[in-house]
Structure 1
Amino acid sequence: MEFYRFDQEVGMQITKFDSNFVMSRLIQTSKDAHIGCMHLPANGVVGYHQAVSPQLMIIMSGEGQVRSGNGNEVRVKAGEAVFWAKEEWHETKTAAGLTAIVIESDELTPAVHMPVREPISE
């Protein structure tokens, strides 16, 4: 399990075409990718399962806890992303609710685009 940041502080200021915004790059793939938006309600759970392919969970709002294998739960919040390798066992849960974009593809290399963040155990 790897953790990344995509908050405004790690993005790039864009001024091309008279623009004025910050862009935080997430991922780039040349292979097929499945991209979805996951809405976990209060006390929601994505049950403990094995990743079918590499997957990146990009937390847009809320907060929760993730774990991989038999490891400790790690707190995650909006502005952070979690990456699981193919066949890695993992679980996500939240007390207050969480909304995330999930990208699944055989070709994901988030470390190329986002800075790593150190995990904070519960």
Structure 2
Amino acid sequence: MKLFKFDKSNGKQISKFNSDFIMSRITQTTKAAHIGCMHLEENGIVGYHQAVSPQLLLIVSGEGLVRGEQEEYFKVEAGDAVSWNKGEWHETKTDTGLMAIVIESEELSPLMHMA
């Protein structure tokens, strides 16, 4: 499990085309990617299981706890990202609810785009 940030402080100012915004890069793939929005209500949980492919969890709102193969939980909140490798055991849970974007692809490489 690896933890990242994709909040404003990790973005880059974009001014091309007369634009004025900050872009936080996440990932790039050339192979198929499954992208979904996950909604965990109060006391929601994604049970402990093995990732079927490399996976990236992007917390958009709310907060929760994540773990990898160790029993140590890490707090996550909006702007945090977590990646798991294919086959890696993991779990996500929340007391108060959270919304997250989930990206799954055999070709995920967030280390190249996020710090």
For Structure 1 versus Structure 2, the TM-score category normalised by the shorter chain is over 0.9
Deviation at 1:70, TM superposition (A): 3.0
Amino acid at match of 1:53: S
Once residues 80 and 66 of structure 1 are traced to their aligned partners in structure 2, the CA distance between those partners, rounded to angstroms, is 11
Q: Residue 34 of structure 1 aligns with which residue?
A: 34
Q: Residue 119 of structure 1 aligns with which residue?
A: none
Aligned identity (percent) is 62
Q: TM-score, normalised by structure 1?
A: 0.92
Question: After superposition, what is the alpha-carbon deviation per residue over 1:30-88, rounded to whole angstroms, capped at 9, x for unaligned?
Answer: 01110000000010000111000000000000110011113311111110100000000
Once residues 51 and 41 of structure 2 are traced to their aligned partners in structure 1, the CA distance between those partners, rounded to angstroms, is 22
Q: Residue 72 of structure 2 aligns with which residue?
A: 72
Q: Residue 83 of structure 1 aligns with which residue?
A: 83
Aligned-residue RMSD, C-alpha: 0.6
Once residues 22 and 81 of structure 1 are traced to their aligned partners in structure 2, the CA distance between those partners, rounded to angstroms, is 17
Q: TM-score, normalised by structure 2?
A: 0.98
Once residues 80 and 42 of structure 2 are traced to their aligned partners in structure 1, the CA distance between those partners, rounded to angstroms, is 19
Q: Residue 111 of structure 1 aligns with which residue?
A: 111
> Is the partner of 2:42 in helix, strand or coil?
coil
Q: Residue 98 of structure 2 aligns with which residue?
A: 98
Runs (4+) of structure 1 exceeding 2 A deviation are: none
> Is the partner of 1:17 in helix, strand or coil?
helix
Structure 1 portions without partners, runs of 5+: 116-122
> Is the partner of 2:75 in helix, strand or coil?
strand
Amino acid at match of 2:71: G
> Is the partner of 1:27 in helix, strand or coil?
coil
Once residues 106 and 71 of structure 2 are traced to their aligned partners in structure 1, the CA distance between those partners, rounded to angstroms, is 24
